[in-house]
Amino acid sequence: MAPWRPFAVLCTRLLVAAPHVSQEAIRKLVGDLSPNLSAELQDRVEAVLSYHFRSKHFLDVQASLPGDLDWSSQPSPWRSYHGAPRVQLPHSLALLEAASSPVPLSLASLGAFLRLGAGISAWKSYDGLHMWALRVMPSSGNLQTTEFHVMLPPLDGLAAVPAVYHFQPEMHALEFRLPAPNEFVTTADGSAGFLVALTSLCIREAWKYGERALRSCHLNLGHAVGALDAACNVFGWSLQEGPPALHADSILRTVLGLGAGSDEEPGEHPELALFVRTSARASDVGVWPAYLTAETIGKLYREAHVEAQGVPGPLRPQRPAAAPSWPAMDAAQEGAVMALAEAGHQEEPTTSGLERSALKRLLGQRLLDAILNRRSVLRMSDEQPPLPEADFLRILRVACTAVPEPRAGRLAAGTGSAVNVLLMLHKVESFLQGLYVLTRQRGSEEELFAFVKAMPERVHRSESGSPLDLPEGCALWALARPVDVRHAAQISACGQEVAGAGSFAAAFFGAFTGWRHPRRYLELLWHAGALGHVFYLAAEAAGFGATGMGCFMDDMGLGLLRDPWSMEAKGDSSSQSFSAEESQHQVLYYVTVGKASSDPRLLSFDPYQHLQEGFSYEALQGGMGRIFQTT
């Protein structure tokens, strides 16, 4: 690559509020990228794309930030519904040692599943007293914007009727919200499985990251989907799309008993419903009745005199006197809302036959340890060994075949290809340094060749002569090699050293063409987050580590893909292009993989020590806590 000036020098330019975005240019771009949209959908896609371009980072301009952090108003990563009946869940994983596959659904297996799919992985501390919790899925700033709700059949230890619960991970408990009509359970005994609904509280991210928070909020949700899928792999269960009716925001909000919230206390935003299939019997295919619409659900609840129990606890100890607002972010979120007519609510099966997932097949017995030990790398080891060839190829295979890609309705699913990966290889055994692209879906190559300026060369074998043996439809392409891209990776990742000091860095990019609905933007972020999650798990299984990076110079990363030798010129906001030719792909996420350096000052504690007999737990502001031994 071209010689680089020190990043600190490049960043001494004055940073202003946000990149300038011309609405006229955005309107033309939407018409070029996604023609034939209705006037309403055109306006909503414009709001989404305007947000995406406005929230880009450049060397001279960055997305709007809140300024100095007001620690007195830091949101809590834990949500509780005060007054809701609470059921403590078991958290032991001992049942996995002797259980058959698939593991039968019970209170014990549900508790273990939620531990692996949404729970705490460790408590960390610098002084042994003030602690913070890590979760099984990463989150920008550990702010945890995703909430988990479950709709369960009657189980021993829970309500005697089908019911909706909120999962409270801090105390590893279910909070009873409201009973559900019998029609919500797929079979009489509930043996087919249960529903998991994910909601977002993006205000947690906005407190620290400002306008760019919507991106990281939905990347977090993708990680949550990846974590649930990984847990399903361990239990012999499968994660599948939820009922079509629940794609509509209004129906999902009604089913979960969510309030609209207010400026003082924002409410949860319903995002996605998934079906966890726990039975392998072909007869246990669930069907969501077509008549269950928002209106009929509301009528069922009114006739049964059903009211949601519990009041959502405040996220912030106090509201800041002058809380910043993010209208572009709010407009994008509202623009991506899925209405009932758009989601469709006809009767159709929600599940398919249970199959052994590729994630368990590729990672084997190392999967469980990878889930429990996954951490975000804060610093790469100074003595960075090469990532073994076999482990690198396993990461690629996992990325090709083991990534859940949730879709919120058929209209939201665009015709564009899946999220693909720009690889910046630094130190990988049997591979030259340089830029590569992993295409994850047949047909992606044509779009790639049309976008990049140099013709990529397909890589069939490593430098050792071993065939790559990638799954069908998946291919690795060389853009520039041999070339040292460590500085390029670091600079394009906002100067973060971990991007250039490990084995490789990856930029995930998605197609912004052929959208049929603005929800496609959220889907692409979900897919990128889920893809990042399997990178984490596969790296951990190899004895390495990974970290996701939500801060990156969007167009510099895109420049590495399109024309690597002109990347530095893409650092200025004045270079931002709104042409369809240069905008058909956009960078969504950065992930880096390498051998982590441990911090000897950092203490680690058992994830559920605070719930054990003989210990006392005191919750502190901002998700911190103290754990005392009482006996």
**Which has the closest alpha carbon to 340: 397, 292, 293?**
293
Place of tokens 């397909």: 458
- Cβ atoms of 380 and 501 within 8 Å: the answer is yes
Say which DSSP state 470 is in: P
User: In sequence order, what are the residues at sequence separation of 6 or more whose Cβ sits closer than 8 angstroms to the Cβ of residue 38?
Assistant: none
Identify the weakest region by mean pLDDT among 158-167, 408-417, 469-478: 408-417
Q: What is the pLDDT of residues 561-609, one digit of tens each?
A: 999 887 887 889 988 999 999 999 999 999 999 999 988 888 999 999 9
Percent of the chain with pLDDT over 70: 87
The stretch 282-307 carries a mean pLDDT of 66
Domain architecture of the chain: domains with CATH: 71-316+326-343 (3.40.109.10), 358-594 (3.40.109.10)
What secondary structure letter does DSSP report for 590? E
Dist. CA 272–CA 255, nearest whole Å: 12
pLDDT at residue 54, as a whole number: 95
Supply the pLDDT for residue 479: 95
Check residues 4 and 185 and name the one with the higher pLDDT.
Answer: 185
Average pLDDT of span 394-409: 86
Indicate the average pLDDT of the chain. 87
For the chain, give the number of residues: 631
The sign of the CA dihedral 416, 404, 205, 379 is negative
**C-alpha torsion 374→121→207→511, nearest 10:** 40
Asked whether the predicted pLDDT for residue 260 surpasses 80, the reply is: no
CA distances (Å), origin 35, targets 31, 124, 138, 249, 444: 5, 50, 37, 25, 20
How are beta strands 131-135 and 146-152 bridged, if at all? Answer: unpaired
Residue 164 belongs to what H/E stretch? strand 163-168
For residue 254, with 0-12 CB atoms within 10 Å meaning exposed, 13-18 middle and 19 or more buried, which class applies? buried
SS3 at position 621: helix
pLDDT of residue 345: 40
pLDDT of 184 reads 65
Q: Is the pLDDT of residue 7 over 80?
A: no
Query: What is the Cα–Cα distance from 230 to 233, expressed in whole angstroms?
Result: 5
pTM: 0.94
Q: Is the peptide bond before 154 cis (omega within 30 degrees of 0)?
A: no
Per-residue pLDDT averaged across 428-457, rounded?
91
Please give the structure tokens belonging to residue 506: 């990856």
Least confident span in 29-33, 347-351, 538-542 = 347-351
DSSP assignment letter at 267: P
Angle (CA) 201-538-393 rounded to 5° is 135
Distances (CA, A) of 32 to 29, 530, 559: 5, 29, 21
CA distances from 550 to 32, 111, 143, 197, 508 (A): 28, 31, 13, 24, 11
> Helix (H, G, I), strand (E, B), or coil: what is residue 627?
strand
Local confidence band at 168 (pLDDT 50, 70, 90 cut-offs):
very high
As a whole number of angstroms, the distance between CA 372 and CA 122 comes to 8
Mean pLDDT of 12-36: 79
